[in-house]
Amino acid sequence: MSVPDAAVNFLLNNLTQIVVHNYGLIRDIKPNIDALHKELESLSAVMSDFEKYNHDINYVKHTVREIRRVIGQAEDAVETYLLQAAVKNSRGWVQNFFGQFTDPMMLWDVGNQINTISAEIKKINEENVKNSFAALQYEATNHLNLPAKSKEAPKVEEDHVIGFDDAADEVERLLTGSPEKLEIVSIVGMLGLGKTTLARKVFKDPDVDYEFMIRAFVYVSKEFDRKDIFLEILKSFTQVSEEVKNMTGDELEKYVYKQLEGKQYLVVLDDVWEKEDWDEFKRAFPDNKKRCRVLITTRNDQVADYANPKVPPYRLDFLSLPASRELLAWRVFNEKSCPKEVLDYEIEIARKCDGLPLAVVVIAGIIWNHREKVSWWKDVADSVKNYIARDQKHATSVIELMYKHLPNYLKPCFLYLGVFREDFEIPVWKLIRLWIAEGLIQPEGNENLEDLAEVYLDELVDRNLVMVGQRRSNGKIKTCRMHDTLREFCKNEAAEENLFQEIKKGHLSPALTESPLDARRLCLNNADIIEYMSQNPSGKCVRSFLTFVKEETTVEPKLVSCLPKTFKLLRVLEIQSLTFTRFPVDLGNLILLKYIAISSKFPSLPASMSHLWCLQTLIVQTTNSNLDIKADIWKMSQFRHLHTNASTILPLPQPREKKTKEESLAEENLQTLSTISPESCTKEVFDRAPNLKKLGISGDLTKLIKVDGESTLFEHLRRLESLENLKLLNEDVSFKLSCLPSDKSFPKHLKKLTLMNTLLAWKEMSTLGKLEYLEVLKLKEYAFEGKCWDTEKGGFCRLKHLYIGRMDLVVWEEASVDHFPVLNSLELNGCDKLSTFPHRLADIPSFQLVVLHCTNTAVASLARKLQVVKLNQGKKAGNKKNNFKLSIYPPEH
């Protein structure tokens, strides 16, 4: 959905939640809210029309602004009323927090406000229907004055291609090597990496020219005409008659097939956007058994996989620093290097362009007119990222085209990535929690919101708009990041769309107006957060406040309550980079909060947080080893995720004769408890979390697991049908666990298990080997003890990743496909006593990665021998590019 579209749908969902969870508070104005809901549904139904029209039409721009305005007013009116009603009903609770909000006359006035807003939305709906026809007429009669859809290929620097020699060799090998049958080869890479440049370089290579009788290079793009593409292919090698030009698309498809039949050909389809686009062309290419090739360039991994799932695409990487410097020098001076007097600045500029050719070319264009001025080089070097963002001709126009053609549901998710600071490795779990809290992920049937958000992220990665930082041991994305050029676009476009506003250094106290459009989300990453808080900031309409400053800062006692007192309508509070010495008592008054991330030195969360009925995610980083939650989380109907680094003591659920609606919803929603204390692992707690997916337990585990292996803990855990991820972290190493309960006592669908300081005997691994769905096993420091591990055959049928941390293991010889049939990766961290390495791991076909961190030289030597065996296996199988990787740290010299 587009940003206005997202706002409408979020408000619709928000109103539904308010009615469901707070009927008692909004009972008096429910008819008003119902009427508003009805008008919003009508508005949502016609919002998609705006995507069909050119947004330069004045009435469209005006209508979008009006939609934003009334949506903001509707949010403010309903949520302010909710706060007022809560204060009025609470009697002794926060009587003075909202001051004038407690006036009964003002409570009544809100109903009239909602009626007025409903009337405005109704008017917009009526005008939208009326003007839809006018827009169509406008498009038809004034199309010559509208920005034309690009049909021409972008200009590519062909005379002097830099930094692609190795890439060109690899792509050429894919084109000219075996097999004889028709092969589809793809070049995949993010925007601006030079896919077209590389394809052109290969296309013009003499060896490629010699190999293929017929060669055609065709630019496809997002807005293509199938008939035009076929005609362009034909024009590359034959005369096109008027009769052929008048053919239909289907007729041309057959004609191209006939002209290519029996010939050796290479056709390049440059800039293919979607996998469905390939379906429009593929039937035109006959398999002549003469090593014919179709080369596709795309920024979308899905296109490459769909076109040829058997051959991995060539992934175009960023330019090296030397290549970036050479490209910059050539574009500015038409030489291989820059003059000595600007070398320092040239290096800095090339480094800040971060290997993106598009960025290098943009900066070169900025420097060119003043290339002889050293002072100009210095100015540009100081402001590289700003210049890239401001150059409309080169960078922004390309990115705008990409953004325009994103699916509507991805647009706000993509722009939201701009709230993170530059070069920030974004934790995916945090990003997903934020997207959901911000209302950017809307429900689709019965699909889990977190799963849906992961799908959205994967799609952004496939489109090369987001880069993968790290992957989890199960293959899912752990961290991601954005190239700075795209991030700058996101920030600028988000400001234009009123999605969020960045508070920049030097502008610490923005003049936030009374308009509901202004500053509904604030992010602060490069300014002094304490200075900002001390200036008494204002902004009554702010819904989200986020900071990802690099330096962790302790908040002075006098400023502890600054943010909750300033922003009373907050939904999202991401301030984990700030450390609070005491709990901000006013935080419990922000009953609209959906997401809290905070760092602290306090030992407990007060009961006043029980009022946060909207809370979905709570993240607390604390310096204490224990955290006591006194708030009644069991009545927070929307609560989904608890993340803490301490052993957290949960409140005991109160006995009940009958479930309330809130308790039923809370049971349904709760997915994460990480980490909690052994004392909190009671039947009552787990009965309230039947859909739990992730559980971490930290503390003295001997309280839960007896010497004979019997365990009240596992009696409760086995009933958690949805639990996939379990961490058991034993804090007191003076007490070890002698054994584990039987495999039947573990949660049935457990996929990931982490153990630490449990000091189990190695024979207990046989129990873990019987866990049917286990894919990831992390044995952190001292999870097991004993010098020898005799691996048993027939276990770990689905284990893909095995991590072994510091322990006293010396001998581990026997491990092969009989023990780990589908193992993909092994990581040894701190196993400095280990003297042997199981060489038969090489027999496992799926085994592709070994990571050794601080192990001894004997193990490293054995791992290298295993690498040689895997390489030879690949050669025998005909895989010239072996995927096996060995990583050793610290590197040996």
pLDDT in tens, 802-840: 999 999 999 998 899 999 999 999 999 999 999 988 989
Query: Whole-angstrom Cα distance, residue 669 to residue 73?
Result: 30
Residue 610: partners with Cβ closer than 8 Å, 6 or more residues away: 588, 631, 632, 633, 635, 636
Q: Is 402 left (phi over 0), alpha (psi -120 to 50) or beta?
A: alpha
Residue 12 pLDDT level (bands cut at 50, 70, 90): low
What pLDDT score was predicted for residue 339?
87
Mean pLDDT of all residues in 390-413:
70
For residue 56, is pLDDT > 70?
A: no
Report the candidate in 743, 836, 849 with the shortest Cα–Cα distance to residue 795.
Answer: 743
> Which one is predicted more confidently, 68 or 479?
479
Burial of 276 (0-12, 13-18, 19+ CB in 10 A): exposed
765 near 788, Cβ under 8 Å?
no
Residue-wise over 712-738: b if at least 16 C-beta within 10 A, else e?
A: ebbebbbebeebbbbbbbbbeeeebbb
What pLDDT score was predicted for residue 445?
79
- Write the DSSP symbol of residue 589: G
> Which one is predicted more confidently, 499 or 16?
499
What pLDDT score was predicted for residue 725?
97
For 434, what's the count of Cα atoms within 13 Å in the CB-facing half-sphere?
26
200 near 172, Cβ under 8 Å?
no
What pLDDT score was predicted for residue 239?
81
Count of Cβ atoms closer than 10 Å to residue 707 Cβ: 9
Report the candidate in 707, 358, 440, 417 with the shortest Cα–Cα distance to residue 546.
Answer: 417
Report the candidate in 780, 788, 727, 796 with the shortest Cα–Cα distance to residue 761.
Answer: 788
Query: Whole-angstrom Cα distance, residue 111 to residue 114?
Result: 5
Which of 14-18, 278-282, 485-489, 609-613 is predicted least confidently?
Answer: 14-18
Q: What is the DSSP string of 521-575?
A: EEEESSS-HHHHHHT----TT--EEEE--SS-EEEPGGGTTHHHHH-TT-SEEEE
530 near 555, Cβ under 8 Å?
yes
First vs last C-alpha separation in the chain: 54
**Radius of gyration over every alpha carbon of the chain, rounded to an integer in angstroms:** 31
Query: Whole-angstrom Cα distance, residue 885 to residue 877?
Result: 17
- Write the DSSP symbol of residue 424: -
Residue 539 pLDDT level (bands cut at 50, 70, 90): confident
Domains and CATH numbers, the chain: 3-145 (no CATH), 165-315 (3.40.50.300), 321-395 (1.10.8), 406-496 (1.10.10.10)
Structure tokens at 530: 């304490």
pLDDT tens-digit series, residues 149-189 = 344 444 444 445 666 778 888 888 888 887 889 999 999 98
Which of 153-167, 251-265, 511-525 is predicted least confidently?
Answer: 153-167
Q: Cα-Cα-Cα-Cα dihedral of 138, 144, 145, 146, to 10°?
A: 70
Sheet containing strand 477-481, edge to edge, reads 426-427, 477-481, 467-471
Burial of 145 (0-12, 13-18, 19+ CB in 10 A): exposed
For residue 507, is pLDDT > 60?
A: no
Q: From residue 138, give the alpha-carbon distance in Å to each of 210, 344, 462, 692.
A: 52, 54, 36, 54
For residue 129, is pLDDT > 60?
A: no
For residue 845, is pLDDT > 80?
A: yes
Q: From residue 804, give the alpha-carbon distance in Å to each of 243, 501, 765, 801, 859.
A: 70, 45, 12, 10, 14
Structure tokens at 679: 């004392």
Query: Whole-angstrom Cα distance, residue 453 to residue 428?
Result: 10
Mean pLDDT of all residues in 234-246:
86
Long-range contacts from 640-643, C-beta under 8 angstroms, 24+ separation: 640/436, 640/616, 640/669, 640/670, 640/671, 640/672, 641/433, 641/616, 641/617, 641/671, 641/672, 642/618, 642/672, 642/673, 642/674, 642/676, 643/429, 643/617, 643/618, 643/619, 643/672, 643/674
Q: From residue 353, give the alpha-carbon distance in Å to each of 357, 403, 443.
A: 8, 21, 39
Q: What are phi and psi of 204, to 5 degrees?
A: -90, 0
Strands 477-481 and 467-471: antiparallel
Query: Whole-angstrom Cα distance, residue 888 to residue 854?
Result: 8
Q: CA 352 from chain center: how many Å?
A: 23
Amino acid at the residue 862: L
What pLDDT score was predicted for residue 11?
62
Residue 133 pLDDT level (bands cut at 50, 70, 90): very low
pLDDT tens-digit series, residues 409-457 = 898 999 999 999 876 889 999 999 999 999 899 888 788 999 999 999 9
Mean pLDDT for the chain?
82
What pLDDT score was predicted for residue 510?
45
For 366, what's the count of Cα atoms within 13 Å in the CB-facing half-sphere?
26
Residue-wise over 395-417: b if at least 16 C-beta within 10 A, else e?
A: bbebbebbbeebeebbbbbbbbb
> Which one is predicted more confidently, 706 or 893?
706
Q: Give me the percent of the chain exceeding a pLDDT of 70.
A: 82
Which of 149-153, 340-344, 615-619 is predicted least confidently?
Answer: 149-153
Query: Whole-angstrom Cα distance, residue 654 to residue 652?
Result: 6
Structure tokens at 569: 């309508």
756 near 781, Cβ under 8 Å?
yes
- Reported as type and span, the H/E element at residue 199 is helix 195-203
Which of 263-272, 572-581, 734-743, 747-756 is predicted least confidently?
Answer: 734-743
What pLDDT score was predicted for residue 593?
95
Query: Whole-angstrom Cα distance, residue 329 to residue 372?
Result: 13
Q: From residue 696, give the alpha-carbon distance in Å to each of 442, 751, 755.
A: 28, 14, 10
295 near 183, Cβ under 8 Å?
no
For residue 278, is pLDDT > 70?
A: yes
What pLDDT score was predicted for residue 678?
92
What pLDDT score was predicted for residue 376?
86
Q: Give me the percent of the chain exceeding a pLDDT of 90.
A: 33
Mean pLDDT of all residues in 673-697:
94
Structure tokens at 846: 């799926």
Which of 21-25, 51-55, 612-616, 721-725 is predicted least confidently?
Answer: 51-55
Query: Whole-angstrom Cα distance, residue 164 to residue 97?
Result: 63
Query: Whole-angstrom Cα distance, residue 224 to residue 150?
Result: 9
Residue 47 pLDDT level (bands cut at 50, 70, 90): low
Q: Is 40 left (phi over 0), alpha (psi -120 to 50) or beta?
A: alpha
Query: Whole-angstrom Cα distance, residue 566 to residue 639?
Result: 25
What pLDDT score was predicted for residue 493?
87
Mean pLDDT of all residues in 61-68:
70
Give yes or no for a cis peptide into 339 (omega within 30° of 0).
no
Query: Whole-angstrom Cα distance, residue 285 to residue 230?
Result: 11
For residue 226, is pLDDT > 70?
A: yes
For residue 559, is pLDDT > 70?
A: yes
Count of Cβ atoms closer than 10 Å to residue 890 Cβ: 8
Residue 148 pLDDT level (bands cut at 50, 70, 90): very low
